[in-house]
């Protein structure tokens, strides 16, 4: 009996009404139990193994990717129901453009279909208040796919409770390169003073106020002085300078100071982090990669800091479910408890 036949039997059993009812109840109890402990705010998934799953089950590669999308829908509901605020998924690497042309074309066609499904049947995202953000090199997205990307982002931007980051097309090297370029631009551009002392509006206001206050006295002086007409041109030429506050700094030095560049010694890791794609997201708590591959493969390299817990699972991504996520979350909660005990003992 082939593995594919056994897989169909298992799927038929678990999709039968009695089994679905039992599984739903068990899921609710299990998720409620997990919510009693700390919950990660940010979880990243490297969805690996779609092609190998398809090969092992003797189905088309594109069908394996479709099953991977169904797994993503399951995972999102599990995460958001548990209380995770940000889910980041590696949907398409820039390196994937080097795959066979037919596969790339099929992936792009699937991206259009799935993004359209998220928009038309977005009850999952709306239920948990999740918005879609597409992170990556926008210039590399094909022109026929870009409208679907923009529509998915636009239609979910009103959701503010959770975030789904779709990295497409993305690599960490491209992200870090972009962040460093933005940092260089920031520190090589003159900083403008927030309240320039000699703005046009201030000069105009000063001249008008001085003129209104001294108009009558100026006329009387001119009538009394025989040289008033000769000096009138000089007075007019100096009106702008006399209208300014004499205690204000010279205009030339102020302009030079306003063109001063930011001090590069102030660049820190936080400076670069503020220019990354995930700058507005909480720190990454859990990184999960499926298919028994123990490398990050250019995904979330900057975000995987010392407090990120990395898990490499043996299952292929289309197989990933609550029963694979529960052990990960329990181990993360146990590690958090140990960290808290360690910190309290130091105090």
Distance CA 29, CA 51 (A): 33
Catalytic sites, residue numbers? 48, 96
Distance CA 100, CA 317 (A): 21
- Beta-ladder partners of 131: 163
CA nearest to 163, candidates 80, 90, 82, 93: 80
Distance CA 142, CA 148 (A): 11
10 Å CB burial of residue 222 (0-12, 13-18, 19+) is: middle
Distance CA 251, CA 198 (A): 7
99, 234, 267, 311 from 75: Cα distances, Å: 26, 79, 38, 16
Q: What H or E segment, with its residue span, contains residue 166?
A: strand 162-167
Q: What H or E segment, with its residue span, contains residue 323?
A: helix 322-346
162-185 in b/e form (b: 16+ CB < 10 A) is bbbbbbbbbbbebbeeebeeebee
Sign of CA dihedral 341, 342, 343, 344: positive
Taking each helix axis as running N to C, give the angle between helix 61-82 and helix 17-34, from 0 to 180 degrees, rounded to the nearest 10.
50
CA nearest to 285, candidates 42, 80, 50: 42
CA nearest to 189, candidates 258, 274, 273: 258
């Amino acid at each position: 009996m082939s593995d594919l036949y056994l897989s169909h039997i298992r799927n038929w059993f678990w999709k039968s009404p009695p089994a679905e009812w039992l599984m739903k109840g068990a899921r609710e109890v299990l998720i409620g139990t997990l919510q009693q402990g700390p919950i990660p705010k940010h979880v990243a998934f490297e969805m690996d193994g779609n092609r190998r799953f398809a090969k092992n089950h003797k189905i088309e590669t594109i069908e394996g990717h479709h099953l991977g999308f169904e797994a993503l829908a399951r995972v999102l509901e599990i995460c958001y129901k548990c209380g995770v605020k940000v889910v980041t998924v590696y949907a398409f690497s820039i390196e994937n453009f080097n795959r066979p042309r037919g596969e790339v074309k099929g992936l792009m066609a699937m991206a259009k279909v799935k993004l359209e499904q998220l928009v038309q049947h977005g009850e999952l995202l709306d239920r948990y208040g999740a918005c879609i953000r597409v992170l990556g090199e926008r210039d590399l997205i094909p022109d026929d796919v870009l409208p679907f990307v923009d529509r998915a982002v636009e239609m979910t931007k009103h959701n503010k409770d959770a975030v789904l980051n779709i990295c497409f097309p993305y690599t960490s090297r491209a992200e870090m390169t972009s962040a460093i370029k933005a940092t260089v631009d920031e520190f090589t551009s003159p900083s403008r003073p927030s309240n320039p002392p000699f703005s046009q509006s201030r000069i105009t206001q000063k001249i008008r106020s001085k003129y209104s206050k001294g108009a009558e006295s100026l006329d009387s002086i001119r009538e009394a002085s025989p040289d008033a007409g000769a000096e009138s041109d000089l007075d007019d030429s100096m009106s702008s300078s006399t209208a300014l506050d004499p205690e204000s700094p010279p205009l030339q030095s102020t302009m030079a100071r306003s063109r001063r560049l930011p001090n590069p010694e102030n660049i820190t890791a936080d400076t670069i982090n503020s220019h990354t794609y995930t700058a507005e997201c909480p720190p990454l708590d859990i990184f999960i990669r499926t298919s028994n591959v123990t490398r990050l493969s250019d995904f979330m390299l900057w975000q995987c800091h010392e407090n990120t817990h990395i898990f490499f699972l043996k299952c292929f991504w289309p197989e990933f479910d609550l029963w694979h996520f529960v052990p990960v979350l329990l181990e993360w909660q146990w590690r958090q408890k140990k960290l808290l005990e360690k910190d309290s003992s130091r105090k």
